[in-house]
């Protein structure tokens, strides 16, 4: 993996950095394909929204964009972008002048065994619940301890993902992904206004589906609604779409809506 800090090659970070001390920062994970960073404008937009909510200096995004523009991207790989508020003293008070740390990393794509996009995956429902915090909902901030604890619930390599509910018991997301399911031809996904990450591929798929005249509903749903699903899939910026063929003891087919969205997403990537 190649890494840069504030535009210069580096592999070390100040130990007083607020990203390390408090999770005071944001990150984006971008898939590179054919030498292009996929859906990069959408990643920039989510990052800008997060920076505004966390009260980062207005210049932070533009400087990171300059760092990325100076790179030569590989044919394929992962571009990870991280912004922290930089070095700081003790205490939560914001520094008068933040020295933002801009971290850029380039690495290879993960090797997903077993052709999950074609063959489908097994998932489970987690016991860990996500706290409700509208201020942080949707953005990809650096504190992901809830997801870490949810992922710690299983070690079975045959289970690809765990689905997580919020404190009130409503479906939210996967530990690393967003969730969709189909009931009678309608596509459903949890609303993410109180917790969870508003994934870039999730948002893009909602647009793609509506353009294809597929009805999409966002709302608060209890896990029991999944028993009615004829199709289910998870998605993120690296896996694209993985059909779900088993949720705990419930078996599912890989249906036409899932396959259609997979095809439409790949067509979008080739434009």
* Residues labelled catalytic: 29, 140, 173
Q: How far apart are the first and last CA of the chain?
A: 28
CB atoms within 10 A of CB 226: 21
Burial of 43 (0-12, 13-18, 19+ CB in 10 A): buried
CB atoms within 10 A of CB 139: 18
- Which among 100, 111, 128 is positioned nearest to 18, based on CA atoms? 100
Residue 62 sits at φ, ψ, to 5 deg, of -60, -40
User: Alpha-carbon distance 185 to 240, whole Å?
Assistant: 21
Those residues with Cβ within 8 angstroms of residue 219's Cβ, 6 or more apart along the chain or in another chain: 188, 190, 191
């Amino acid at each position: 993996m190649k890494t840069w800090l504030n535009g210069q090659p580096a592999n070390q970070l100040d130990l007083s950095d607020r990203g390390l001390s408090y999770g005071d920062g944001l990150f984006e994970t971008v898939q590179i394909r054919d030498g292009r960073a996929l859906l990069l404008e959408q990643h920039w937009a989510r990052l800008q929204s997060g920076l505004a909510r966390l009260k980062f200096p207005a210049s932070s995004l533009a400087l990171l964009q300059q760092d990325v523009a100076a790179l030569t991207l590989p044919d394929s790989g992962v571009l990870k972008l991280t912004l922290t508020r930089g070095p700081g003293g003790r205490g939560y008070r914001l520094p008068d002048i933040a020295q933002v740390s801009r971290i850029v990393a380039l690495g290879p794509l993960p090797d997903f065994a077993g052709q999950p996009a074609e063959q489908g995956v097994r998932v489970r429902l987690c016991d860990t619940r996500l706290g409700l915090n509208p201020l942080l909902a949707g953005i990809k901030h650096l504190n992901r301890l809830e997801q870490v604890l949810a992922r710690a619930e299983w070690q079975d390599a045959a289970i690809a993902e765990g689905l997580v509910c919020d404190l009130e018991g409503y479906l939210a997301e996967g530990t690393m992904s967003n969730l969709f399911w189909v009931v009678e031809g309608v596509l459903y996904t949890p609303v993410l206004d109180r917790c969870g990450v508003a994934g870039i591929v999730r948002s893009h798929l909602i647009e793609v589906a509506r353009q294809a005249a597929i009805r999409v509903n966002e709302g608060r749903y209890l896990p029991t609604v999944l028993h009615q699903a004829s199709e289910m899939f998870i998605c993120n910026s690296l896996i694209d779409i993985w059909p779900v063929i088993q949720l705990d003891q419930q078996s599912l087919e890989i249906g036409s809506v899932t396959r259609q969205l997979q095809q439409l997403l790949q067509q979008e990537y080739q434009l």
